[in-house]
Structure 1
């Protein structure tokens, strides 16, 4: 797990290119504290940079950027390839020579053997740049689930890329702000892909590669892998057996490491299953990291202890208090890279995991999206009926008093994002217009200008799963998990998003995969003999902190005098009176700092 950066630009001197990429790597050092490297090719005005977090083959053989033995292909790679050993065996069988035991070298030689079709053979989380000298092409490649970030910027005949947006600013590649980002942020609570805070600095789509042709300075973006369903599974017993075996395989794959590894144990179903499955691996005792609070409504230590009693490895628990939130709040904001209303919880647990000597952890992200763990899975069916109402009624929803009802106004837009924002949006368009002093028409144009996806009109559980996976998880959970964990030099692995396990989950008949009365029932039933009953037989809580209380007592966040405009000040007062959710005030606070 690492951080990567690079620039290809014929109109910039070799010295300046190297200096710029070095600056990019300096600002990314937190994500790769163990080693760093630069590769350059003056003939095509290319410089690759790398910051390394050593987890597999941590010695000098894993230094990057790396080349094959004949130095035809160079790579700078961020991530883990969990199936690199069987691919390596295939390559050895046809005479390929290796000089390390790294997954990085496997990517290089797989490309030399199979070309771009090799990308679809990789199972893992990854973002890499690969320069084929003979082919005159550089590829930017991002994994099928979009676990690892990869941003790029094309300016005329130059291409820049990096693992974080801040790197583009640090190198002076671009400082031009995308003035639409505050609108998107206030609506979504994050900045959805492919957009960022910088104009034309975009996120490469998951499961795609960008091919840059050096002679013409042109590029194309193409898909290489899409997670799809296999033939349908209609037997309940068969489904449970395959889920058990499939998730065990995914956990086994992702425990691969030459460095200390553990599990985030929140006390919920998903992290408990991962902890207990990891504990069954006799080769290493698993370490667990848990957080608890003095605020009893948020404290899950009792549920954590039920699982910890069944685990033999080292168990780290940490109390997080209001004063910790106050102390680290400025650092948390600085580490975000892009504005978001999530990720503080990941920042804290990653901090403690790093302190406890871990370099990698397993996380339960993805289970809710695959098996119907959110309220949206039941709420989605109501959208089918709402969408049949006249449009003027949706516009009239702006006059409702409560946030919940005002968000119906999003349905005035015949667009799938209107549906999503009704379910998960923060501020409605008219309120965003007031906050930013823009017209509601301009706000709606920004939010709904992208192509509408007409196939998203079924309004069933599979529809909700698509929303939660491709919008909420992709844009918020995965991005925030990556940037917040890597700010502490920690790798977070996500077994539920193993490509083969996802294909298995998508193959379940909807009546088996989803249950209207018990969220994630098939997952729970598959591991019922492993899980303590109190873990699954309780209301869903989620991995959350006492932010409603903490932010209401935070000197800056809760001080309405520090906010601009009557609307924002009134929102702060409503928050202090318990009338609105903390995420809205947290979004407003960040807008105050940036706009």
Structure 2
């Protein structure tokens, strides 16, 4: 796991290119504390930068940017390839020779052997830049689940890219803000892809590569893996359980491969408990677990954590987080976000402690809720079939309600899949956003719903809910926040539930057995009842959350209405202080105020 950056430019001098890439790398050094490297090609005015976090092959052989023996291809790579040993054996049989034990070198030789077809052969989490001297092309490539971020900017024939948005600003490449970021943030609670907080800096779509043609100074973005439609569903529940068991075990095994200390985030919930127990079965070294607990009993999951810890061996780290730690570290957390978000504080803390406990990589349970119906949205979405019959004028009248849950019905005035998502998970409605920002409501609605409409998302069933949660909530918030917060502490987070093969298996299971309206993630639980304690799963879902409603209410700035500009923001904070508004909305207002 690393951080990457680079520039291709005929406008800048070689010295300017190298200086800017160096500045970008310096801004990203938290995510790659072990090594640094820059490659420059004067012929095409290209520089690749790299900051390394050593996980596989800790020797100098893993130094990047890296090239093949003939130095035809150069790469700057961030991530982990879980099937690299399989690909390496295939390449060895074809006569390919290797100089290291890294997965990075496997990507290079896979490309030399198979061209861009190599990208779809890779199973892992990754974002990389690859320069092919012979063909005068550079590729920016991102994994199919979007686990690793990759941002780019094209301006006047110049391509710049980086793992974090802050790098563009640090090198003075793009400093102008996207004027619409606050609109999107107040609606979604994050900045949805492909947008960022900077003007014309975009996120490369998952499962795509950007191909830059050096002779033309032009580019195109190409999907390298076509979506696979399910030809026939698995309808036998016993077959489904057997395949889930085998596939998840294989995923955990492959993601435990590391030459550096690795552990598991254990919250006490179903997903992290299951991964901990499976990792404990397969580990080649003593398993380390990292947990967080609170004095606030409603949020304290130590009892469930201990049920799992009693079943495993290895080092067990537990950390108490209190109001004072939250207040002390909040300024650092907000700075480390890279872009505003209402999530990520939990990831910041547990990543901090994992790093302090000597870990370089951890497994996380992100993805299971999205695949197997772990959220309330999987039950709520069925009512959309009836709500969508609401006349547009009636939906607009919802703005006159006082309670937020009823005001959100105003999203029904927009026949758009993003309006459906915001009805499920949105923060502020367009009318309120307009008042907060002093903007016209028509302008707000244009910003939010100007994306092309997508088909097939109006069945309002479990598969639709899974698509919303996977491609919008998890993609834009959970994965981005997990990555940026963990890398702030030089920590790699791996997500076994998002293994490509496991995701394809989940999608092939009949919705009738994949989703259960009475028991969230029932098929997953039933598959592992032999190892998963009943007390862990037979209880209300908590999620990995903190006592933010209380902590933010006591925060001297977040809960101070006098610090906010608009009257509606002041009113919202008063509602929050009375316990009538969710903390995420108050935190969003606070961040808009900070960045305004």
Q: 1:265-311: CA deviations, max 9, x gaps?
A: 00000000000000001522211000000000000000000000001
Which residue pairs with 2:93 in the alignment?
Answer: 93
Q: 1:430-472: CA deviations, max 9, x gaps?
A: 0000000001100000000110113211111100000000000
Could you tell me how far apart the structure 2 residues matched to 1:338 and 1:163 are? Answer: 12
- Cα pair 2:390 2:412 within 8 Å, conserved: no
Could you tell me how far apart the structure 2 residues matched to 1:423 and 1:387 are? Answer: 13
| CA deviation after TM superposition for structure 1 residue 227, in Å | 5.2
Could you tell me how far apart the structure 1 residues matched to 2:567 and 2:156 are? Answer: 43
Which residue pairs with 2:381 in the alignment?
Answer: 380
Which residue pairs with 1:236 in the alignment?
Answer: 237
- Cα pair 1:228 1:506 within 8 Å, conserved: no
- Structure 2 runs not aligned, ≥5 long: none
Which residue pairs with 1:413 in the alignment?
Answer: 414
Could you tell me how far apart the structure 1 residues matched to 2:452 and 2:46 are? Answer: 34
Asked if residue 309 in structure 1 is aligned to residue 310 in structure 2, the reply is yes
- Cα pair 1:398 1:409 within 8 Å, conserved: yes
- Cα pair 1:265 1:271 within 8 Å, conserved: yes
TM-score w.r.t. the length of structure 1 is 0.99
Matches within 5 A, 1:418-433: 418-433=419-434
For residue 12 of structure 2, give the secondary structure of its aligned residue in structure 1.
coil
| CA deviation after TM superposition for structure 1 residue 226, in Å | 4.4
Q: CA RMSD in A?
A: 0.7
For residue 48 of structure 2, give the secondary structure of its aligned residue in structure 1.
strand
| CA deviation after TM superposition for structure 1 residue 180, in Å | 0.6
Distance 1:249 1:555, change over 3 A: same
| Superposed structure 1 runs of 4+ greater than 2 Å apart | 226-231
- Cα pair 1:229 1:504 within 8 Å, conserved: no
Asked if residue 472 in structure 1 is aligned to residue 473 in structure 2, the reply is yes
| CA deviation after TM superposition for structure 1 residue 156, in Å | 1.8
Which residue pairs with 2:28 in the alignment?
Answer: 28
For residue 4 of structure 1, give the secondary structure of its aligned residue in structure 2.
strand
Could you tell me how far apart the structure 1 residues matched to 2:377 and 2:174 are? Answer: 39
- Cα pair 2:145 2:498 within 8 Å, conserved: yes
Which residue pairs with 2:197 in the alignment?
Answer: 197
For residue 297 of structure 2, give the secondary structure of its aligned residue in structure 1.
coil
Asked if residue 51 in structure 1 is aligned to residue 41 in structure 2, the reply is no
For residue 315 of structure 1, give the secondary structure of its aligned residue in structure 2.
strand
Could you tell me how far apart the structure 2 residues matched to 1:25 and 1:64 are? Answer: 12
Matches within 5 A, 1:105-184: 105-184=105-184
Which residue pairs with 1:62 in the alignment?
Answer: 62
Asked if residue 334 in structure 1 is aligned to residue 335 in structure 2, the reply is yes
| CA deviation after TM superposition for structure 1 residue 353, in Å | 0.1
Which residue pairs with 1:207 in the alignment?
Answer: 207
Could you tell me how far apart the structure 2 residues matched to 1:538 and 1:119 are? Answer: 42
For residue 225 of structure 1, give the secondary structure of its aligned residue in structure 2.
coil
Q: 1:201-252: CA deviations, max 9, x gaps?
A: 0000000000000000000101112453554211000001110000000000
Could you tell me how far apart the structure 1 residues matched to 2:162 and 2:520 are? Answer: 38
Could you tell me how far apart the structure 1 residues matched to 2:372 and 2:62 are? Answer: 38
Could you tell me how far apart the structure 1 residues matched to 2:229 and 2:61 are? Answer: 38
For residue 43 of structure 2, give the secondary structure of its aligned residue in structure 1.
helix
Could you tell me how far apart the structure 1 residues matched to 2:7 and 2:403 are? Answer: 49
For residue 164 of structure 2, give the secondary structure of its aligned residue in structure 1.
coil
- Cα pair 2:256 2:283 within 8 Å, conserved: no
Could you tell me how far apart the structure 1 residues matched to 2:543 and 2:496 are? Answer: 18
| CA deviation after TM superposition for structure 1 residue 11, in Å | 1.1
Q: 1:151-190: CA deviations, max 9, x gaps?
A: 0000021100000000000011111211011000000000
Could you tell me how far apart the structure 1 residues matched to 2:396 and 2:380 are? Answer: 21
Could you tell me how far apart the structure 1 residues matched to 2:201 and 2:296 are? Answer: 41
- Cα pair 2:2 2:32 within 8 Å, conserved: yes
- Cα pair 2:25 2:50 within 8 Å, conserved: yes
Could you tell me how far apart the structure 1 residues matched to 2:430 and 2:75 are? Answer: 44
For residue 197 of structure 1, give the secondary structure of its aligned residue in structure 2.
coil
For residue 130 of structure 2, give the secondary structure of its aligned residue in structure 1.
strand
Could you tell me how far apart the structure 1 residues matched to 2:405 and 2:529 are? Answer: 36
Distance 1:359 1:227, change over 3 A: farther
Could you tell me how far apart the structure 1 residues matched to 2:389 and 2:429 are? Answer: 21
Asked if residue 37 in structure 1 is aligned to residue 23 in structure 2, the reply is no
Which residue pairs with 1:502 in the alignment?
Answer: 503
For residue 256 of structure 1, give the secondary structure of its aligned residue in structure 2.
coil
Could you tell me how far apart the structure 1 residues matched to 2:227 and 2:217 are? Answer: 31
Matches within 5 A, 1:447-458: 447-458=448-459
Could you tell me how far apart the structure 2 residues matched to 1:75 and 1:377 are? Answer: 41
Could you tell me how far apart the structure 2 residues matched to 1:45 and 1:38 are? Answer: 13
- Cα pair 2:120 2:224 within 8 Å, conserved: yes
- Cα pair 1:31 1:53 within 8 Å, conserved: yes
For residue 173 of structure 1, give the secondary structure of its aligned residue in structure 2.
coil
Could you tell me how far apart the structure 2 residues matched to 1:584 and 1:66 are? Answer: 45
Asked if residue 16 in structure 1 is aligned to residue 12 in structure 2, the reply is no
Which residue pairs with 2:574 in the alignment?
Answer: 573
TM-score w.r.t. the length of structure 2 is 0.99
Which residue pairs with 1:220 in the alignment?
Answer: 220
Q: 1:528-553: CA deviations, max 9, x gaps?
A: 11101100110111000000000000
Which residue pairs with 2:394 in the alignment?
Answer: 393
Could you tell me how far apart the structure 2 residues matched to 1:11 and 1:156 are? Answer: 8
Could you tell me how far apart the structure 2 residues matched to 1:299 and 1:257 are? Answer: 31
- Cα pair 1:144 1:227 within 8 Å, conserved: no
Could you tell me how far apart the structure 2 residues matched to 1:417 and 1:283 are? Answer: 45
Which residue pairs with 2:367 in the alignment?
Answer: 366
- Cα pair 1:227 1:499 within 8 Å, conserved: no
- Cα pair 2:575 2:581 within 8 Å, conserved: yes
Matched residues, number = 595
Matches within 5 A, 1:507-586: 507-586=508-587
- Cα pair 1:227 1:502 within 8 Å, conserved: no
Could you tell me how far apart the structure 2 residues matched to 1:454 and 1:486 are? Answer: 36
For residue 233 of structure 1, give the secondary structure of its aligned residue in structure 2.
coil
- Cα pair 1:265 1:288 within 8 Å, conserved: yes
Could you tell me how far apart the structure 2 residues matched to 1:416 and 1:570 are? Answer: 30
Could you tell me how far apart the structure 1 residues matched to 2:160 and 2:421 are? Answer: 32
Could you tell me how far apart the structure 1 residues matched to 2:86 and 2:527 are? Answer: 28
